[in-house]
Amino acid sequence: ASVPYSHTERETFLAEHCRPGVVLKSASCDIFQNLAFEDWIHAHVDVEKRSILFMCRNRPAVVIGRHQNPWQECNVPLARERGIPVARRRSGGGTVFHDLGNVNLTFFSSRKRYDRQRNLRIVTRALRQLSPNLDVHATERFDILLNKQFKISGTAAKLGRTGAYHHCTLLCSADRALLSATLRSACAAGIRSNATPSVAAPVRNLRDEDPTLNCDAVMEAVASQYYADFGLSAPAVVVDPTDELSHPGIRRITQELQAWDWVFGKTPAFSLDTSFEVQCEACDTKVNLTVGVKSGAIETCSIESPQDWLPPAMCRELSGLMVGSRFRPSDMAVIFTAFLRANPQSHELENKMHILCEKVVALM
Ligand SMILES: Nc1ncnc2c1ncn2[C@@H]1O[C@H](COP(=O)(O)OC(=O)CCCC[C@@H]2CCSS2)[C@@H](O)[C@H]1O
C-alpha cells in the first residue's frame, strides 16, 4: 500500500515513494504515539519494496516488553507520582527508560532482509564517524557496549509474516538517576511469575564519553549512514503520528496502547507475596498480603494482620472484596470506601483501614 507520509507536495511524495530506503523522523515525543506509528507502518506499508528507518525521542517513559510484568520491572507507584507513563510495546524483550536524551531507531524491512547486526553496524559506524576514538561494539545479544562494559543501546524486534522491524535505543544524554530510580521495582522480590525478566546492565551516556555528542548530531549521522547503504543522500522526512488523514486508524492504535487493559492487564499471571510495617500502639507490627493476579484482576487475596491491629473477620471481608477487582489504585480506593460506608468503624479502626489502603495502593 502506498502511503503519503506527510502533507508534502505530490512530487515530493512520489520521489520519496520511489526510494528503496527512507528515513522518517517523528514530530512527536509521546511514547504511545510513536509506538502506534511503528504499529501502523508494520501493518500498512509494503516493506518488500522499500526499507524504512524511523527515528524518535520521547519524554520520560518506561517501556516494557510485550510479555513482561510492569510491577516486577519498574517502580509503578513512583512512575505514576512523577507522571511518567509505563508503556507496553508489541515487541518482546526487556524494560528500558526513555527521555529526550535517548534516541530510538526502528529499522523496518522485509523478513528476508531483516538483519539486526547490519542495522547495529549502521549505528556504530555513524557514531565512529562523529567521534573516531569511540569504542562501540554490538554484542551477540544485540546490545551496543561502550568501552566493552557500558550498555548504550538495547534491542527488541517484531517479526511479521512478510515484514519485520528491529528497534533499538541509544543513550546520548539521558537522566541516569531517573533511569535507575524508575527501573527499581518496589516489590519485585515478592513476585512469582513466568513473565520475561529484563537483563539489567550498567549503562552510560555517549555524552559522558564525548561531550560534543548530542541526540540531533547522532540522529543525523545515523540517517546519513543508513542512506549511504542505499547509495542515497537526503534529509529525513518529518512525520506526524497524530495525523489520522495520512495514517488512517492510527488514533485507535494509540488509544489501545494507552489503555490500562493493554499496559497492565496484559501482564502474564503472577502472585505477589509481601508484607508491610504498620504502627500498633507505639510499636511496629507486620501485615502480610498475598494476591494472585490474572489478566490484571485479583483472583485470590489474603490479608493477615495481628489480631490486635485488625480483627481477622475484617481482614477476611476485605480480601473477599478485593477478589474480582483490578490490581490498581482507583479500584482499591473504591473498595475501601465502600467497605467503610457499609461497616462503620471506630475512629481507630477507620484510621487503620486508611493506613492499610495506602500501603496496598503503594504497591500498585
Ligand atoms: N534507554 C536505554 N538504553 C539502553 N539500555 C537501557 C536503557 N534503559 C535501560 N537500559 C538498561 O537495559 C536493561 C534492560 O535490558 P534488556 O536487554 O532486558 O532489554 C532491552 O534492552 C530492551 C530494548 C528495547 C528497545 C526498544 C526500542 C524502542 S521502544 S524500546 C535495563 O535494566 C537497564 O540496565
Q: How deeply is 54 buried, as exposed, middle or buried, from its count of CB atoms within 10 A (0-12, 13-18, 19+)? A: buried
Q: Determine which residue's CA is closest to atom 16 belonging to ligand 1.
A: 94
The pLDDT score that the predictor gives to residue 5 is: 52
The pLDDT score that the predictor gives to residue 273 is: 97
pLDDT tens for 229-253 read 877 778 899 999 999 999 999 999 9
Cα(177)–Cα(174) distance, rounded to whole angstroms? 9
Distances 162 to 45, 46, 65, 109, 165 between C-alpha atoms, Å: 11, 9, 22, 9, 11
C-beta of 329 in contact with ligand 1 (< 6 A): no
DSSP 213-239: --HHHHHHHHHHHHHHHTT---PPEEE
Cα(175)–Cα(62) distance, rounded to whole angstroms? 13
Cα(123)–Cα(236) distance, rounded to whole angstroms? 16
Question: How many CA within 13 A on the CB side of residue 81?
Answer: 12
pLDDT tens for 46-98 read 998 889 999 999 999 999 999 999 999 999 999 999 999 999 999 999 999 99
Q: Is the pLDDT of residue 300 over 80?
A: yes
How many A from CA of 212 to the centre of ligand 1?
Answer: 24
How many A from CA of 94 to the centre of ligand 1?
Answer: 6
Domain 270-361: give its CATH architecture. 2-Layer Sandwich (3.30)
Q: Is the pLDDT of residue 215 over 90?
A: yes
C-beta of 156 in contact with ligand 1 (< 6 A): yes
* One fold for 10-263 and 270-361: no
Q: Which class in CATH covers the domain with range 10-263? A: alpha beta
The average pLDDT across 99-117 equals 97
pLDDT tens for 10-42 read 445 445 555 688 999 999 999 999 999 999 999
How many A from CA of 316 to the centre of ligand 1?
Answer: 41
> What is the distance of C-alpha 56 from the center of its chain?
14
Q: C-alpha cell of 286?
A: 507486620
Please, are residues 26 and 34 in contact by the beta-carbon 8 Å criterion?
Answer: yes
Cα(87)–Cα(260) distance, rounded to whole angstroms? 10
Higher-pLDDT residue of 305 and 231 is: 305
C-beta of 119 in contact with ligand 1 (< 6 A): no
The pLDDT score that the predictor gives to residue 165 is: 98
Sign for the pseudo-dihedral over CA of 95, 97, 102, 108: positive
Distances 48 to 108, 116, 240 between C-alpha atoms, Å: 10, 17, 23
C-beta of 89 in contact with ligand 1 (< 6 A): yes
Higher-pLDDT residue of 342 and 144 is: 144
Cα(80)–Cα(129) distance, rounded to whole angstroms? 40
How many A from CA of 190 to the centre of ligand 1?
Answer: 23
C-beta of 60 in contact with ligand 1 (< 6 A): no
C-beta of 171 in contact with ligand 1 (< 6 A): yes
233 C-beta neighbours (distance < 10 Å), count: 9
The average pLDDT across 254-278 equals 97
C-beta of 94 in contact with ligand 1 (< 6 A): yes
For residue 34, give the ligand 1 atom closest to its CA: 29
**For the chain, what are the domain ranges?**
10-263, 270-361
- Alpha-helical runs (H) found in the chain: 10-18, 31-44, 70-73, 76-82, 116-130, 176-182, 206-209, 215-229, 250-258, 260-263, 312-322, 329-342, 347-361
How many A from CA of 154 to the centre of ligand 1?
Answer: 4
The pLDDT score that the predictor gives to residue 323 is: 97
The model's confidence at residue 2, banded by pLDDT at 50, 70 and 90, is very low
The angle, 0 to 180 degrees and rounded to 10, between the axes of the packed helices 31-44 and 250-258 is 130
